[in-house]
Amino acid sequence: MLKIENLTKKYGKFKAVDNISLEINEGEIFGFVGPNGAGKTTTFKMISTLLKATSGNIYLDGTEINHKNLKKVRSNIGYMPDFFGVYDKLKVNEYMDFYSDIAGFNRSEKVSIIKDLLELVDLTNKKNAYVDSLSRGMKQRLCLARCLIHNPKLLILDEPASGMDPRARVQMKEILRELKKMGKTIIISSHILPELSELCTNIGIIEGGKIVVNGSVEEIMHRAKGASVIRIEVLGEKEKCIRFLKEEPLIKSVIEEERYIEIEFSGELKEVSNLVKRVLDANIPVISFKPIENNLEDIFMEVTRGDGE
Ligand SMILES: Nc1ncnc2c1ncn2[C@@H]1O[C@H](COP(=O)(O)OP(=O)(O)OP(=O)(O)O)[C@@H](O)[C@H]1O
């Protein structure tokens, strides 16, 4: 759906985004992670047509994002910036009405779009409240609703949960899951890394303008430390299982714990599934076989040097 090829943005001699290439497929929730100043907002602005790239190309459904295709591209993108103003003398309904007018909807279309969107972001009971009186979480949800007015396929959300309390973040996550179900493709940046691993299908880590890691959440979790830890629980026959595992070439270590066996496995995900099959074929009574995921926070610390600013 979105293809980024060798994208670079220079401010003077400084490369804020340095030759990045990425592909994001329809229906993905792509988490864009990076320390402060890594180049996330700059990349988002280039995708959203708000900033011209120094070099490189971006394609949305095969259409190149450039000044000739602005209207077409913008009709397919909803961009929620990290900083946004809301008009303080407007009520929630009026705010949505204003943006629906800009999007060119007639009266009856507007009424139904606004009703549906306020329901989606759980602000129906605030429709007559002044925007200024809303909590930060509510303002962010209102801004998200605004980005959805023209029904874009691709949503670009720059830290949509920043500054929210835990309950408000959970609520935002639920809305994003709902949007995924509706078929939207979502690119989201955040510093709240563990949350991204629950929500996202894919992750790209950017540092100093360069992509340092990119792949599905499962792949990234799995390959981050060159080996993954798998916990195996068997019904009796623990010794037989341990003997079997010690013969396996991709297993680096086997540790016997009270209730389970923990192995360090250096194969790819496909090889994990082959291992499960071999253990079962050996008639070992397995109750559970569970890869222990690395925390995304650990992975982030491992792949970034922390000198982004
Ligand atoms: N208009 C500008 N002129 C000069 N430098 C800029 C400009 N905008 C951004 N930069 C620099 O480009 C780099 C990338 O900035 P960007 O805002 O894209 O980072 P970010 O990953 O979104 O950071 P944060 O998480 O803090 O929002 C930073 O070093 C920033 O100072």
Q: pLDDT by residue (tens digit) across 219-239? A: 777 665 556 788 999 998 899
The confidence score (pLDDT) of residue 160 equals: 86
Kindly tell me the sign of the dihedral angle through the C-alpha atoms of 131, 136, 137, 140: positive
What is the distance, to the nearest Å, from the Cα of residue 225 to the centroid of all Cα atoms in its chain? 21
What is the distance, to the nearest Å, from the Cα of residue 72 to the centroid of all Cα atoms in its chain? 24
Residue 45 Cβ contacting ligand 1 at under 6 Å: no
**Ligand 1 atom nearest 39 alpha carbon:** 18
Measured in Å, residue 31 CA sits from the centre of ligand 1 at 18
Residue 208 Cβ contacting ligand 1 at under 6 Å: no
Q: Where are the alpha helices (DSSP H) in the chain?
A: 40-47, 70-76, 92-103, 107-120, 136-147, 166-181, 193-199, 217-223, 238-246, 269-281, 296-303
Measured in Å, residue 309 CA sits from the centre of ligand 1 at 9
Residue 47 Cβ contacting ligand 1 at under 6 Å: no
156 vs 40, 119, 153, 258, CA distance in Å?
11, 21, 10, 47
Residue 306 to residue 309: CA distance in whole angstroms: 8
Residue 91 to residue 118: CA distance in whole angstroms: 13
pLDDT in tens, the chain (309 residues): 999 999 999 999 999 999 999 999 999 999 998 888 899 999 999 999 999 999 999 999 999 988 888 888 898 999 998 776 667 789 999 999 999 998 889 888 999 999 999 999 999 999 999 998 988 889 989 999 999 999 999 999 998 887 777 788 888 888 999 999 999 999 999 766 666 777 889 999 888 999 988 888 877 776 655 567 889 999 988 999 999 999 999 898 898 988 899 998 888 778 888 999 999 999 999 999 987 766 666 677 777 765 544
Residue 73 to residue 79: CA distance in whole angstroms: 12
Residue 11 Cβ contacting ligand 1 at under 6 Å: yes
Measured in Å, residue 35 CA sits from the centre of ligand 1 at 11
Measured in Å, residue 92 CA sits from the centre of ligand 1 at 31
**CATH no. for 2-221:** 3.40.50.300
Q: Where in the sequence of the chain do the CATH 3.40.50.300 domains occur?
A: 2-221
- In angstroms and rounded to an integer, the radius of gyration of the C-alpha atoms of the chain is 23
- Specify the CATH architecture of the domain 226-293: 2-Layer Sandwich (3.30)
pLDDT tens string 76-87: 999 998 776 667
Q: Does ipTM come in above 0.95?
A: yes
Asked if 57 and 1 touch (Cβ cutoff 8 Å), the reply is no
Residue 108 Cβ contacting ligand 1 at under 6 Å: no
Q: Where in the sequence of the chain do the CATH 3.30.70.1150 domains occur?
A: 226-293
Pocket probe mutation, ligand 1, options 32, 40, 157, max atoms within 8 Å of Cβ: 40
Residue nearest to atom 26 of ligand 1 (CA): 36
Residue 40 Cβ contacting ligand 1 at under 6 Å: yes
Residue 37 Cβ contacting ligand 1 at under 6 Å: yes
